[in-house]
Structure 1
Amino acid sequence: MKKTLISAAAFAAVLLSSCGTASKSVDISGEWNVVSVEGKEVTGNPYIGFDMENGRLYGNAGCNRIMGGVEIDSVNPGHIGLTNIGATRMMCPDMETEQKVLEALNEVAGYKASATGVELTDKDGKVLMSLERREAPAVSINDINGEWTISKVDGVEIEVADKTPFLSFNVADNAVHGNGGCNIINGSFSQEEGNASSLKFGQMISTMMAGPGMETEGKVLEAMNKVASFVVNEDGTLSLMDAGNNEVLLLVRNTGKTLSE
């Protein structure tokens, strides 16, 4: 039998070539629906987004928004590092899916292409999650128009000591009106050109009364200064996010008598 010899250098070149081709064929950037965790289909429409330009992971675990860091290993194709995985702390009727998604994310060490999308694996190559490409929902500033009660500041439920804090957006005039917990506040908001989910408040003017709601008001105004974008959640609530994509204010649409009346 005729034997074919290949040098170590040539063999290494073949390996590098094949690895390079494989790594280029799997692009995980963008948003993905979580189809299954450890082979079992999930409910609640969880999804994961990979912002590779900024090294950021974001999404929804089925109830709460998730965030963290992401880094692709450029030396070892198919290896990935997820860091500082965290989530907001809202309670939902079904938390089982969320728990499974978060536990799986903390074990992710690799990724590979699948017939329908991408699979995330652990350090031993075991498939943890199956993902399919997600079409990002259309975002419009008109989605925030109207009045919203402020429910949380920096993830903590607001305790109403005086006036109920709220914000009312007039999209047509780029104006915002509301109450921080004690005083009436008025101001404006703007968006970055070409960034439909961006949101930045202008200087806010308020009345100067003193009352038991001043502590809450201080927290609300401080959070408003950090706002850089917004997200309309699947349950209809509105999250106002800082530049690091952390939720600083959670708002609930007011469908009853307006608080400004």
Structure 2
Amino acid sequence: MKHSQDYPLNARPMIGLEDEYPAGFVDPWHCHERAQFLYASAGVMSVVTPQTSFVIPPQRAVWLPANTMHEVSCRGAVSLRTLYIDPVHDNAPDSCRVLEVSDFLKALVLEVVKFPAAYDLDGREGRIAWLLLDEIRRMPGAPYHVPMPSDPRLVHACRAIIADPADRRDIDAWSVLVGMSRRTFTRTFKQELGMGFALWRQQVRLMQAVSLLASGRSITSVALDVGYESPSAFTAMFHRAFGEPPSAYVSR
């Protein structure tokens, strides 16, 4: 797998690569000199930074500023299109976030990843690259992330829940697992993340749910896979969180 360090920063303001990864692939903790735009044209991937965990469903992208430590894992087979952007030129989001990808932006990305490494900056290819940067700046954010704690004991619990949102262990079980009292666990969790454990886990489940729905899974299978006892309970929670039932989300 090639990374931005394989190319001099002054080579071109933007370099595009395309890769195919199998289910279960993990690219361990690393960072890049360039800002990175990771676009999943097919499949679902997870990106974790020290502060945030993201789930990127198909046809969405995650923006990572230069020198952001992160780990990437593929929940299924993933078709990935990556743009490495010189931070001198990006003028784009200054924090990690998931972005919507319009049909127009998708077309630009698929074009740029086919450019030769030494493409003509003053010709058609250069104009497309600059236009692509403008389009990235216009894209709205998408709700596919949750905050991560800094306490290593809480990190252990949170990463386990993200890996398996259907895990039904309660606070007492998680407290014992990470070697904390229930009171310390709940107090530290709220201090670090600004919300209680139950709400945070609900957000993880909803984040995973919208990702699975976007990849074409049925509402019933998604409800069970993210830890709800019935599709009706999942539908009620989804409606409270997003203001519409999952069926409306799927149709849209």
Q: TM-score, normalised by structure 2?
A: 0.30
Structure 1 or 2: more helix by fraction: 2
Q: TM-score, normalised by structure 1?
A: 0.29
Greater gyration radius: 1
Structure 1 or 2: more strand by fraction: 1
